[in-house]
Amino acid sequence: MKNYIDLSDIKDLQALLTEASELKKAHAALEIGKGKTLGMLFFNPSLRTRLSTEKAAKLLGMDVLVMNAGSDGWALEFEDGAIMNSNKAEHIKEAAAVLSQYCDIIAVRAFPELKDRKEDEAENILNSFKNYASVPVVNLESATGHPLQALTDALTIQELKKKDKPKVVLTWAPHPKALPQSVPNSFTKMMQKMEFDFVITNPEGYDLNPEITKNTRVVHNQDEALKDADFVYVKNWSSYEDYGQKLSEDKSWMISQEKLKATNNARVMHCLPVRRNMVIADDVLDSSSSAVILQAKNRTFAAQAVLKEILEETANASELGKNA
Ligand SMILES: NCCC[C@H](NC(=O)CCC(=O)O)C(=O)O
Ligand SMILES: NC(=O)OP(=O)(O)O
C-alpha cells in the first residue's frame, strides 16, 4: 500500500485484516518503524484516531509528531496561483514539502465544510497533501471518507460474527448537529467488499451518495430493516440530496433495547463519539449489546496494519531504487 486515502488503496483486504488480527494477538513492539517518523495533522478534534494511530506507530517503533494544524499552524492556502494577500500565510506546496523533510508518513484529518458538495467531494486538503508531499499520506477522516474507521469496523465484525454471512444494518439516527457522511460512506464501501447481507436504513431525504450505495439495498422503514439483524451500525449523517442540511431530528430513529427486539440479538456499533439518549440509548450502550469499546480498541491494530504495509512498501521501493 502506497497511501491510505480511500478503501480503493487496499490491495488485499483479507490479508490486511489477517495482519491486523495477528498484530492484535501478538501485541508486541516491532522494529520495522525504527528511525521513521509519523506526522499527524489535525484540522478537527479527535480522541480515538489521534491516540490509537500514535499508539500504533509507536508499537511499530516509529516516532510521532502531532500538530493541531487547524489552531496552531499558519493558515494554509490551497489554491494554485493564489495571490496571497489575505490571512493565509503559507501555501500547501511549501508546507507539504517541508513536512516531508521531517516525516516518513504524513496523516491528515480534515472534515467537510458541508456547504458545497462539489468542494467537499474534491477533497482539496487531503489531495493537496498527496500531491505536494513526497512521502505517503494517510486519511484520518476526510470530507468524504474515514477508511481507518471502516477497517476497524470490518475487523470487529469479523471477530464477533457467529455466522459466515451475518446481516449488517447501517442505520441513520438523530443528532443535534449536521454531521459528515464520511463514516457511513466508508462503512458502506467496506461492507460491499465483505460477503455480508448488508442493508442501509435512513429516513427519506437522507439517502447517501447514490454512486456509493448503488449496489446496496436502502430501506426507509427502520423496523423492517432491523429485522433479524446480527449487527446494527448506528450513525447520524447530514443530507446528501439537500447537501449538508439537517432535515429532521426524528427521535423515533434512536436505537434502544426496544428497537433491538426485532433483531437477532444484534451487536450495536458506533464509531464514537456518541451522543447518549439522542443517537443510542443508555440501555444499549450500558449493555452487552454494545460493541463500541471493542471497535475503539481495534483502531490501534487497524492503524498498525496500515502503517506497517506502507512502511514495507516504502522499504521495498527504496531497495528497488538501490538495485536499479
Ligand atoms: N471520527 C468519528 C466521527 C466524527 C464526526 N462526529 C462529530 O463531529 C460528532 C460531534 C458532536 O457530536 O458534536 C463525524 O460524524 O464524522
Ligand atoms: N471514531 C473516531 O474517529 O473518533 P475520533 O473522532 O475521536 O478520532
Give the tens place of pLDDT for each residue, 74-103.
999 999 999 999 999 999 999 999 999 999
Q: Is 194 helix (H, G, I), strand (E, B) or coil?
A: coil
Q: Is residue 55 part of a domain?
A: yes
Nearest CA to ligand 2 atom 3: 49
Cβ–ligand 2 distance for 188 under 6 Å, the answer no
Taking the CA of 49 as reference, the closest ligand is 2
Asked if residue 261 and residue 194 are part of one domain, the reply reads: yes
Which protein residues are within 6 Å of ligand 1, measured from CB? 141, 177, 179-180, 182-183, 271, 273, 275
45 CA distance to ligand 2 middle (Å): 8
- Verify that 131 and 200 share a domain, yes or no: no
Peptide bond into 273 cis (omega under 30): yes
Does residue 144 carry a pLDDT above 90?
Answer: yes
My answer on whether 141 and 15 are in the same domain is yes
DSSP secondary structure code for residue 75 in this structure: P
Alpha helix positions (H), 66-173: 92-102, 117-121, 124-132, 147-160
| CATH number of the domain residue 164 falls in | 3.40.50.1370
| 119 and 36 fall within a common domain | yes
First to last CA, the chain: 21
Asked if the interface predicted TM-score (ipTM) of this complex is over 0.85, the answer is yes
Quote the pTM value: 0.97
147 is an annotated ligand-binding site residue: yes
Binding site membership of 149 for ligand 2 (Cβ less than 6 Å):
yes
Asked if residue 229 is part of any domain, the answer here is: yes
Do 169 and 282 belong to one domain?
yes
Return the residue matching grid coordinates 474534491. Answer: 122
The answer as to whether 321 is a domain residue is: no
Ligand 1 centroid from CA 179, angstroms: 6
Are 118 and 153 within one domain? Answer: no
Is residue 59 a known part of a binding site?
Answer: no
Per-residue pLDDT band at 225 (split at 50, 70, 90): very high
Cα atoms found within 13 Å of the Cα of residue 39, Cβ hemisphere only: 20
Ordered strands of the 167-172 beta sheet: 217-219, 197-201, 167-172, 231-235, 267-269
Ligand 2 atom, smallest distance to 141 CA: 3
**Are 253 and 307 part of one and the same domain?**
no
- Check whether 285 is labelled as a binding-site residue: no
Q: How confident is the model at residue 322 (pLDDT cuts 50, 70, 90)?
A: confident
Distance from the CA of 109 to the center of ligand 2, in angstroms? Answer: 10
Same domain for 305 and 283? Answer: no
Q: What is the pLDDT of residue 320?
A: 76
Residue whose entry in the numeric block shows the C-alpha cell 439495498: 217
Residues 154 and 128 placed together within one structural domain of the fold: no
Q: Does residue 40 line the site of ligand 2, with CB under 6 A?
A: no
| Residue 273 CA to ligand 1 centre (angstroms) | 6
Same domain (yes/no): 23, 131? yes
**283 and 211 assigned to the same domain:** yes
Q: How far apart are CA 276 and CA 197, in angstroms?
A: 28
Do residues 57 and 187 share a domain? no
Kindly report the backbone phi and psi dihedral angles of residue 188, in degrees, each rounded to the nearest multiple of 5, phi listed first: -60, -45
Q: Whole-angstrom Cα distance, residue 235 to residue 211?
A: 19
- Ligand-binding site membership of 27 (annotated): no
Given this model, what pLDDT does residue 29 score? 86
**What's the confidence (pLDDT) of residue 324?**
63
| Structural domains in the chain (count) | 2
Q: What is the pLDDT of residue 323?
A: 67
Q: How confident is the model at residue 140 (pLDDT cuts 50, 70, 90)?
A: very high
Kindly give the distance from the C-alpha atom of residue 290 to the centroid of ligand 2, in angstroms, as a whole number. Answer: 17
Q: Are 176 and 283 in contact (CB under 8 A)?
A: no
257 is in an annotated binding site: no
The answer to whether residue 324 is domain-embedded is: no
- Extract the runs of DSSP E, i.e. beta strands, from 10-126: 37-42, 63-67, 76-77, 90-91, 105-109
Residue 213 belongs to domain spanning: 149-295
> What is the mean pLDDT of the segment spanning 24-34?
92
pLDDT tens string 166-221:
999 999 999 999 999 999 999 999 999 998 999 999 999 999 999 999 989 999 99
Whether residue 323 is contained in a domain is answered as no
